[in-house]
Structure 1
Amino acid sequence: MFDLYIYYQVRAADADALAPRVRAMQDRLAADHGVAGQLKRRPGAKDSRQTWMEIYPATAAGFDAALAAAVQDAALSELTDGHRHIEVFTDITDITDITPCA
């Protein structure tokens, strides 16, 4: 199981139009895949842009493809400013899973 964290920029002027699209997409994903997505944003704006984050906890293999299709179907790129950045995390199940960085 993987947790997906997706962040992207939204022009402040487009935020009110984008939010219902993302929420509707997340509702469909929850119904179809059992993954309850979350929608968050960083407080404030910089250069009239907000940073938004979608979180999808405990996703199964193949969910990333379903998410990509849902993003396209919802036409989110029409209201986002730049690329969606996807980060993937997993639970630490054993201390041996950790790779030291030094």
Structure 2
Amino acid sequence: MNLDKLLIEASTPELLEEEFNRYKKIKTDGLISPPKVNIQVGVDGVSWEGFEKDIKNQCLYISNRIKNGTYFFNPFREVPISKKKTYKNRKKENRAMKG
């Protein structure tokens, strides 16, 4: 079985909704009260709350686009993370500048 066929079979609206609910559960911090869901806004600008409000239509739309070959996965959003200056990091920077 090829990868495209497997992707189509795994992309039914029902399975997409189940996967969203699993992901939301994993990303929920239950150690605080009230529990907080830690899902960032997607690269398309849709929040998890907005997606969840219209989950049936969202999952149907995504499923249909995958089946029709018109769905393109967005790359992950890159977020720069500043690092503290340490001796180890300075050595790497110096090597990069010399190289």
Same fold (TM over 0.5): no
Which one has the largest radius of gyration? 2
TM-score by length of 1: 0.25
Greater per-residue helix proportion:
2
* More relative contact order, 1 or 2 (CA 8 Å, 6+ apart): 1
Greater per-residue strand proportion:
1
